[in-house]
Amino acid sequence: MITHQVTIIPDAIDISVPHGENLLRAVHAAGVHVNSSCGGQGTCGKCRVRILEGSVQGGKTEKLSGDDFAKGYRLACLSTVESNLRLEIPPDSRLHRGVLDRTHAGSPTGRLASARQEDMAGIDLKRPVIEKKFISVDPPTMEDNASDLARTRRALKKQHGLSDIGIDYTVLLKLGRTIRENEWRATVTISNNCSGAICGGTFPHITRIQPGDTTGRHYAIAIDVGTTTVCGELIDLVKGEAIAASSEYNGQIKFGEDVITRMVFAQKKDGLYLLQKSVTDSINAVIDSLLTKADVERADISHLGAAGNTVMTHILLGLDPRYIRSAPYTPTVNEMPPVRAIDVGIGLPGHVRLTVMPLIASYVGGDIVAGVLASGMHRRDATTLFIDIGTNGEIVIGNREWLVTASCSAGPAFEGGGIRHGMRATFGAIEEIRIDPATCKPVVFTIGGERPKGICGSGIINIVAELLEAGLLEPNGRFRTDMTTGRLRQGRDGMEYVLVEAERTGIDGDIVITEVDIDNFMRAKGALYAGYQTLLESVGLSWTALDEVIIAGAFGSYVDIEKSIITGLFPDLPVERFSFIGNSSLEGARLAILSRELMDEAGAIAGKMTNIELSDHTPYMDHYVASLFFPHTETRNFPTVMERFKTMGRSCGNGKGDGT
């Protein structure tokens, strides 16, 4: 077999690659990250690499300009290795983890809706799903020589009022030795992690025994398994609170950006295994970081509680997501049976149980159940609209009596996908602009204040709203062709607006927003708005019935509510009804770990939530089409926006142009 040496810079990694191997696969196999939103299909153009020495076969595509191609840029997914190579991975093809810290539940901006005091009244956050109990066992005598287990259970009953406690086989293996080790004093860990139908009843059982009193060292880890990011918290179960937070990109990103590409990848040879391993590697990295940050021993972890969407949850557990992907969209399971963390490849001791938040349907998962739990909306009389924005926008409407949910396929626009200069919300992403009403020139603001590299999801909302208010963009999503500002020009995808000129960017060339980009954004926001409308109709309510709107998710936390209303992404309701909840998936996972009552509530939420399938749903399609306008074709539902458009004059530069 002929192999070639490939040197990757700036990593300075040398790898040996068989002749003819796909370059993207080779680089990923070497553990080097290269973005690949489409999963290596050659369609997203994100895996640009630059060949400095040597040559590859292929790699040319319309996603690369002729100029770039001449400079040696290739799409790695379309290239095969034909010689020794010296390869550069440019910054925009890499992940930056610095921004990850923005994604913690602990640091969202805006008004925080989560875990409001009044909702959590009466909930004991020191009654965890997995508990530790210290016991003093009666030593046996000739008159009373019942088995070690019988004595242990007797102590649990007498000293803690716990009866009918089962035991894991593996605990039995050391029971006799352990209860004798510290003069018949021991600590048992009891899992109440399976109640309800999935276990055929309640099933509290001893999952660990330790000599002496270890009740003071009792920790859990909550994980939000996001499609993009894995966020974790270390929870002190004695104090009833989180003591550290950490996150990593979900290692599955290298196989595709969204759940669809992941499911496609799962059908390839070893695909499911690679996906599972990637996410557990990421979870393991988060756990390592949490333990280091808080200086907690791995052995003192008792529980791992995870929340994720249906695809992430299936893959984490090694369940084939094949049937989720196509109609009629059936998950394998919504409520998971007990499993040990180590059984799915997570590096925690054998006694650690993994619980995952129950799922609702193929596109409404445990992250939404956790989110609703954290929001407390299921406990209130007020009717709430809960929105989690992403490639799939999940929506819940309801109150303490009822809950309806749906998932809208918004496409990747909110995550920078399908946008010419779209990018994830990392350093250098434009997240806000202000268009000078006199000159029609924008002032741009980037994450981290770095030179602009592209536009993130919240940036697009702000740009579109600003363009609308400036009158540069028509409600139908077309740029005004009668405006002669130099910023507005004809590009290869039709009209485009120049946000940053080449010499001021952090990339090669201008950063623009095109009519195609705006069209993609319009479809995304329209999909969500049609979703709210369909759900409301399904319960016979109108917009005014919404007492609250809760925006969930890391992305949501950075969204400007007023600008979102202007674009028609959010309903035109008084701003004070809106609130942010940050990473409610992680928060819900934490709450369910801390309180058995809330864990049961999560099951109850899943049990009573009605899912409405929007695909092939005629009223939804009608609403969707009606939404393809800014803010909406039914302007009567956006009175304040219409008013604002009127008063703002809606035109920068008054058509004069500034010649730049």
Sites of contact with its own copies (CB under 8 A): 140-142, 144-151, 153, 164-169, 172-173, 175-177, 180, 194, 197-205, 317-320, 322-323, 327-339, 343, 359, 361-362, 613, 615-616
Which one, 154 or 577, has the nearer CB to its own copies? 154
In whole angstroms, the minimum distance from the beta carbon of 250 to its own copies comes to 21
Query: Counting beta carbons within 10 angstroms of the beta carbon of residue 401, is it exposed (0 to 12), middle (13 to 18) or buried (19 or more)?
Result: exposed
Q: Rounded to whole angstroms, how far apart are CA atoms 79 and 147?
A: 67
Which one, 177 or 608, has the nearer CB to its own copies? 177
Which one, 165 or 598, has the nearer CB to its own copies? 165
Which one, 355 or 485, has the nearer CB to its own copies? 355
| Prior bond of 631 cis (ω within 30°) | yes
- Tokens of residue 312, six digits: 């992430």
In whole angstroms, the minimum distance from the beta carbon of 279 to its own copies comes to 16
CB half-sphere exposure, 389, CA atoms < 13 A: 30
In whole angstroms, the minimum distance from the beta carbon of 620 to its own copies comes to 12
Q: Rounded to whole angstroms, how far apart are CA atoms 660 and 641?
A: 30
Which residues lie below 8 Å from residue 617, measured CB to CB, with a gap of 6+? 534
In whole angstroms, the minimum distance from the beta carbon of 286 to its own copies comes to 23
Which one, 169 or 381, has the nearer CB to its own copies? 169
In whole angstroms, the minimum distance from the beta carbon of 342 to its own copies comes to 12
Beta strands in 214-289 (DSSP E): 219-225, 229-236, 241-249
In whole angstroms, the minimum distance from the beta carbon of 61 to its own copies comes to 36
Which one, 204 or 412, has the nearer CB to its own copies? 204
In whole angstroms, the minimum distance from the beta carbon of 153 to its own copies comes to 8
Which residues lie below 8 Å from residue 483, measured CB to CB, with a gap of 6+? 440, 471, 472, 653, 655, 657
Q: Rounded to whole angstroms, how far apart are CA atoms 443 and 658?
A: 15
Q: Rounded to whole angstroms, how far apart are CA atoms 2 and 6?
A: 13
Residue count (the chain): 660
In whole angstroms, the minimum distance from the beta carbon of 360 to its own copies comes to 10
Which one, 70 or 197, has the nearer CB to its own copies? 197
Residue recorded with tokens 């319009």: 522
Residue recorded with tokens 């969209």: 329
Paired residues of 307 in beta bridges: 224
Which one, 327 or 382, has the nearer CB to its own copies? 327
Q: Rounded to whole angstroms, how far apart are CA atoms 191 and 422?
A: 46
In whole angstroms, the minimum distance from the beta carbon of 220 to its own copies comes to 20
Using alpha carbons, list the distances in angstroms from residue 447 to 48, 431, 453: 22, 7, 10
In whole angstroms, the minimum distance from the beta carbon of 165 to its own copies comes to 6
In whole angstroms, the minimum distance from the beta carbon of 262 to its own copies comes to 16
Which one, 7 or 538, has the nearer CB to its own copies? 538
Q: Are 532 and 571 in contact (CB under 8 A)?
A: yes
Which one, 621 or 648, has the nearer CB to its own copies? 621
Which one, 361 or 460, has the nearer CB to its own copies? 361
Which one, 305 or 452, has the nearer CB to its own copies? 305
Which one, 206 or 235, has the nearer CB to its own copies? 206
Q: Rounded to whole angstroms, how far apart are CA atoms 299 and 377?
A: 36
Q: Which of 69, 44, 67, 66 is nearest to 55 (CA)?
A: 69
Which one, 304 or 495, has the nearer CB to its own copies? 304
- Tokens of residue 71, six digits: 């400079």
Which one, 323 or 427, has the nearer CB to its own copies? 323
Q: Are 232 and 285 in contact (CB under 8 A)?
A: no
Which residues lie below 8 Å from residue 530, measured CB to CB, with a gap of 6+? 408, 614, 620, 621, 623, 624, 626, 627
- Under DSSP, is residue 97 helix (H, G, I), strand (E, B) or coil? coil
Which residues lie below 8 Å from residue 64, measured CB to CB, with a gap of 6+? 45, 48, 73, 74, 75
Query: Counting beta carbons within 10 angstroms of the beta carbon of residue 47, is it exposed (0 to 12), middle (13 to 18) or buried (19 or more)?
Result: buried
Composition of the chain by helix, strand, coil, percent to 5 = 35, 25, 40
Using alpha carbons, list the distances in angstroms from residue 6 to 21, 31, 49, 51, 275: 11, 13, 13, 10, 25
Beta strands in 196-337 (DSSP E): 205-211, 219-225, 229-236, 241-249, 301-308
Q: Are 549 and 577 in contact (CB under 8 A)?
A: yes
Which one, 144 or 562, has the nearer CB to its own copies? 144
- Under DSSP, is residue 513 helix (H, G, I), strand (E, B) or coil? strand
